[in-house]
Amino acid sequence: MKSKRISFGVVCAAVFGFSGAAYAECTTDVAKDDLTDAQVVEIYECIKGELRAGYTAMGDERAAAYPSWGSAATVPGGIGNHGSRFLTTFVNDTGYLEYVRFKDADVTMPVGTVIAKESFNVNKKGIVKRGPLFFMEKVAAGEADEFGNWVYSALQPKGKPMKIKQKFCNDCHVNFADQDSLGYPEEDYRITVFAN
Ligand code: HEC
């Protein structure tokens, strides 16, 4: 068994699950709330490969595609939203340039925009846990009017579609009505594409 200890104490170890497949276990001895941005990035680098392998395990095409889309965040952030997980948002070509303006009013995302958001968490023992992959897809007017014409979905860490209610996701996202239901990454972590 190989393990790697990184300066501040992230450990990446190859361990074997019930299926016999190897997966990485990343751990840290820094409490979740005390992690610096650099440490969060290091944890992300440790877990990223396994996150993506899990999401694609059941053949979801969007899960295979999103790593090549544009990223909207510099550091996995968003603790406090989506179950206190660390979040990284990606947007497909159709919507990327509009999304990264991070406008706070009059936002209309183009039909065909797909947004994917990876998540992971660090538990009390310092073990890094994979979280769901969340999606929002913009559909044509009339297809999902009651939810701002967004279709919400999510995959479990091992790639299985989650049973979710559109209303559950929309009830919170509707708070961002002026932003076409978009919550955006925390301001400090937004990628800078446009100067304003
Ligand atoms: C309690 C409120 C809440 C609920 C419930 C919620 N979200 Fe979010 N969501 C947010 C916030 C806040 C953000 C922006 C924070 C971030 O990404 O760092 C966000 C961001 C997102 C994004 C990235 C696009 C954006 O808004 O900027 C996706 C995709 C997403 N959520 C999908 C979902 C799905 C799917 C569900 C239902 C399973 C869901 N959300 C439920 C609050 C919520």
Predicted pLDDT of residue 2: 39
Q: How far, in Å, from the CA of 77 to the mean position of ligand 1?
A: 12
Residue 41, classified by CB atoms within 10 Å of its CB into exposed (0-12), middle (13-18) or buried (19+), is middle
Instruction: Assess if residue 179 is contained within a domain.
Output: yes
Ligand 1, atom 11: closest residue by C-alpha: 183
SS3 content of the chain, % helix, strand, coil (to 5): 30, 30, 45
Instruction: Assess if residue 149 is contained within a domain.
Output: yes
Q: What's the domain range around 37?
A: 3-189
Q: How far, in Å, from the CA of 82 to the mean position of ligand 1?
A: 6
Q: For ligand 1, say whether the CB of 87 is within 6 Å of any of its atoms.
A: yes
> What is the chain's mean pLDDT, rounded?
89
Instruction: Assess if residue 195 is contained within a domain.
Output: no
Q: How far, in Å, from the CA of 183 to the mean position of ligand 1?
A: 6
Q: What is the mean pLDDT of residues 152-167?
A: 98
Residue 171 CA, closest ligand 1 atom number: 5
What CATH number has the domain bearing residue 8?
3.50.70
Q: What is the mean pLDDT of residues 176-193?
A: 94
Predicted pLDDT of residue 162: 97
Q: How confident is the model at residue 114 (pLDDT cuts 50, 70, 90)?
A: very high
> Radius of gyration over alpha carbons of the chain, in Å?
17
Q: pLDDT tens digits for 71-92?
A: 999 998 866 667 789 999 999 9
Neighbours of 83 (CB within 10 A): 11
Q: How many helices (H) and strands (E) does the chain have?
A: 4, 9
Instruction: Assess if residue 196 is contained within a domain.
Output: no
The answer for residues whose C-beta is within 8 angstroms of residue 188's C-beta and 6 or more apart is 77
Instruction: Assess if residue 194 is contained within a domain.
Output: no
Give the number of domains in the chain: 1
Q: How far, in Å, from the CA of 84 to the mean position of ligand 1?
A: 12
Predicted pLDDT of residue 25: 82
Neighbours of 11 (CB within 10 A): 18
Q: For ligand 1, say whether the CB of 78 is within 6 Å of any of its atoms.
A: yes
Predicted pLDDT of residue 79: 67
